[in-house]
Chain A
Amino acid sequence: MSDTWLEVQDLTVHHGQLRAVDGVSFQVARGEVLTMVGANGAGKSTLLRTIAGLHHQTSGTISFKGVNVTKLAPQRRVRMGISLVPEGRRLFPSLTLEENLQVGAHRATKGSFTIERVYELFEWMPQRRRQRAWQFSGGEQQAIAIGRALVANPQVLMLDELSLGLAPIVVERIYALIPEIVAQGVGILLVEQDVTLGVGVANRVHCLLEGKTSLVGTPGELSALQIERAYFGAEMSSPSHHHEDHP
């Protein structure tokens, strides 16, 4: 499938003796958004970090455009076209906004996302480009972090917990960017604790529970109850509380 850009097969990742990711498989195609939902500790961040190359997997394969990247160092994967916006933004605090973007671009492949394009996406950036990154607010930092990943012109963009620690209105604005990015043909792998947000932008949804896949489908196919059960594990919800079950 030439449209499948990222393919993960039977991935198992350990954190010490704890199995954080257990036999997970999925694909991300060009121009689509795959959302991973799950509670804290479900293994989502570990999964993204492993795909990015920061963490060693125990077994399974990761392929990018048909090429097995399992043994490649993180910086090699970036140059091939996989970018991660990590949990917590992780900007370079002592560098200016522009320098942060420049670092993101220094190994960029050719593409439509240049630093100027990012400045167009976020109109407030140009006049503050010489401010140090630590001086920006959480939402602004998130935007800069996304910009930094975009200027590398990735083909698969992984977003880890975009909404964490941000005010709802700020999160809305950030999420409004996603269709624009997808329109350029970028495939997005989105990790979110907030189910509504995550499912809202998704083409497909993948639920993780204690490292294992608990539910897969499109937003249209899956009901809120199904997702809730997959999120928490079947024992958590009792039928009498949910009206969807009653005809």
Chain B
Amino acid sequence: MSVLTNASNPGEGLLRVRRSTHSPVYTLVGSLVLVVLLTVAPWIVPAEWSAVLQNFFILVTMATMWNLLAGYAGMISIGQQAFVGLGAYATLFFALKGVNPFYTIPLAAITCLVIAYPVTFLLFRLRGGYFAVATWVVASTAGIIIVNQAYLGGGTGKLLPGMPNLAPRSLQHLIYLATWAVALAVVTATYFLLRSRLGLVLASIRDNEVSARSSGTKVTSARRLVFLIAAAGTGAAGAVLALSQTYLQTGNEFNLQWAAEMLFVSMIGGLGTIEGPILGCIIFFALQQSLAQQGAWYLIIFGTIAVAVAIWQPRGLWGAFRDRFHVELLPVGHWVGDRKSEMKVRRPWFARLVPRGRKKPLT
């Protein structure tokens, strides 16, 4: 775009390109403090809180992966619960074979990755809404197949065997740490992934797929890789879900509700940012805790907020905050210019999908 060149003052053409609007030291120190606090949390806070935190971590994991898929790679899926379920039941499967349940977490992630691979060849024939519903068909199919395996519990469910013989409180702490470790690993991995070459590739596909393809970018491979990573991450979430529930009731892990939660949380927090899903989860749990007695109302209210945010503030709450105050806690984009003439090169990726001829201005 011609705005980047300053033809009238050729000597001033040099612009700075930075990764972050503030010194990374703040992020680093802040993160370390947070990590330490959350690690020792079970020993400090009451038991109910650590249970809530556990569920929080599980949702953060799922939402971060969903957001990677949808917000960064442009694939909306309402079938990720397939991998929640597959991850959970993979854990059960390996535990039944005698593996320590905690060690099944990476195994479950790998299982999901392996299953996801052939599925992509089918799914990638579709786009947009058809892709989305097809993912749901896949989840439904996976659910039906698994739930009918007598070995894995059939109609009645099964207890997860092989849990270490510890005092209940210590076992809870261990499960908490496992859940926390998975969430931390997934968020950190996503952060570094998006700052890597793959992140750049995804950004180029987002901005203009045709250009990306014609300049040699392997678009489909990149998408496939992201889908596999999301499957693995979601599978890990399913695994720790199984660990925290201990008794696997048929089908709960394949519930569409997980898709709804991942989606709402990311929409409200902000698609296409790492902080967004985390913020969304915080709001979600705050809401859930305050409305705990009201049955399904929290989901209704949350859904309404999500719909409203999608229509009126499509960048989500974090996106709006970031654009207003130019703050990024976990920066993965690029900023061009100096502090005064801040020209943000990155637009929300879906802005390019707006068809020509819209009445509203294009920025």
Residue numbers of A with Cβ under 8 A of B are: 14-18, 49, 54-56
Interchain CA distance A191-B106 in the complex, whole Å? 63
- One of B1, B2, B3, B361 near A56 (C-beta < 8 A): B361
* Interfacial chain A residues near B1, Cβ < 8 Å: 16-18
Q: What 3 A-B pairs are tightest by C-beta distance, nearest first?
A: A54-B357, A16-B362, A17-B3
- Taking a contact as CB atoms under 8 Å apart, the answer to whether A18 and B2 are in contact is yes
* Interfacial chain A residues near B3, Cβ < 8 Å: 17-18
* Interfacial chain B residues near A18, Cβ < 8 Å: 1-3
- One of A17, A49, A55 near B363 (C-beta < 8 A): A17
Residue numbers of B with Cβ under 8 A of A are: 1-3, 356-357, 359-363
Return B138 CB to nearest CB of chain A, in Å.
32
In this complex, what residue of B is CB-closest to A54? B357
Return A211 CB to nearest CB of chain B, in Å.
11
- Taking a contact as CB atoms under 8 Å apart, the answer to whether A49 and B2 are in contact is no
Interchain CA distance A85-B357 in the complex, whole Å? 15
* Interfacial chain A residues near B362, Cβ < 8 Å: 14-16
Interchain CA distance A55-B362 in the complex, whole Å? 10
In this complex, what residue of A is CB-closest to B343? A17
Interchain CA distance A14-B363 in the complex, whole Å? 10
In this complex, what residue of B is CB-closest to A210? B2
Interchain CA distance A17-B356 in the complex, whole Å? 15
In this complex, what residue of B is CB-closest to A58? B361
- One of B2, B357, B359, B361 near A14 (C-beta < 8 A): B361
Interchain CA distance A16-B361 in the complex, whole Å? 7
In this complex, what residue of A is CB-closest to B359? A56
- Taking a contact as CB atoms under 8 Å apart, the answer to whether B2 and A55 are in contact is no
Interchain CA distance A14-B2 in the complex, whole Å? 13
* Interfacial chain B residues near A14, Cβ < 8 Å: 361-362
Return B353 CB to nearest CB of chain A, in Å.
14
Return B143 CB to nearest CB of chain A, in Å.
39
Q: Jot down 20 A-B pairs with beta carbons below 8 A, ordered by A.
A: A14-B361, A14-B362, A15-B362, A16-B1, A16-B361, A16-B362, A16-B363, A17-B1, A17-B3, A17-B363, A18-B1, A18-B2, A18-B3, A49-B357, A54-B356, A54-B357, A55-B357, A56-B359, A56-B360, A56-B361
* Interfacial chain B residues near A54, Cβ < 8 Å: 356-357
Interchain CA distance A55-B356 in the complex, whole Å? 8
* Interfacial chain B residues near A55, Cβ < 8 Å: 357
Return B283 CB to nearest CB of chain A, in Å.
32
Interchain CA distance A54-B362 in the complex, whole Å? 13
Interchain CA distance A15-B356 in the complex, whole Å? 10
* Interfacial chain A residues near B357, Cβ < 8 Å: 49, 54-55
Interchain CA distance A82-B1 in the complex, whole Å? 32
In this complex, what residue of A is CB-closest to B351? A16
Return A131 CB to nearest CB of chain B, in Å.
28
* Interfacial chain A residues near B363, Cβ < 8 Å: 16-17
Return A225 CB to nearest CB of chain B, in Å.
26
In this complex, what residue of B is CB-closest to A49? B357
Return B357 CB to nearest CB of chain A, in Å.
4
Identify which of B1, B3, B362 gathers the most chain A CB atoms within 10 Å of its CB: B362
* Interfacial chain B residues near A49, Cβ < 8 Å: 357
Identify which of A17, A49, A54 gathers the most chain B CB atoms within 10 Å of its CB: A17
In this complex, what residue of B is CB-closest to A55? B357
In this complex, what residue of A is CB-closest to B4? A17
Return B342 CB to nearest CB of chain A, in Å.
13
* Interfacial chain A residues near B360, Cβ < 8 Å: 56
Known contacts A14-B362, A54-B356, A56-B360; 17 additional CB pairs below 8 A are A14-B361, A15-B362, A16-B1, A16-B361, A16-B362, A16-B363, A17-B1, A17-B3, A17-B363, A18-B1, A18-B2, A18-B3, A49-B357, A54-B357, A55-B357, A56-B359, A56-B361
Interchain CA distance A56-B359 in the complex, whole Å? 5
* Interfacial chain A residues near B359, Cβ < 8 Å: 56
Return A82 CB to nearest CB of chain B, in Å.
16
* Interfacial chain A residues near B2, Cβ < 8 Å: 18
Interchain CA distance A128-B220 in the complex, whole Å? 43
Return A42 CB to nearest CB of chain B, in Å.
13
Return B9 CB to nearest CB of chain A, in Å.
18
Interchain CA distance A54-B359 in the complex, whole Å? 6
Return B347 CB to nearest CB of chain A, in Å.
9
Interchain CA distance A74-B115 in the complex, whole Å? 51
Interchain CA distance A11-B87 in the complex, whole Å? 60
* Interfacial chain A residues near B361, Cβ < 8 Å: 14, 16, 56
* Interfacial chain B residues near A16, Cβ < 8 Å: 1, 361-363
Return B218 CB to nearest CB of chain A, in Å.
28
Return A69 CB to nearest CB of chain B, in Å.
14
Return B213 CB to nearest CB of chain A, in Å.
23
* Interfacial chain B residues near A17, Cβ < 8 Å: 1, 3, 363
* Interfacial chain B residues near A56, Cβ < 8 Å: 359-361
In this complex, what residue of A is CB-closest to B362? A16
Interchain CA distance A85-B363 in the complex, whole Å? 27
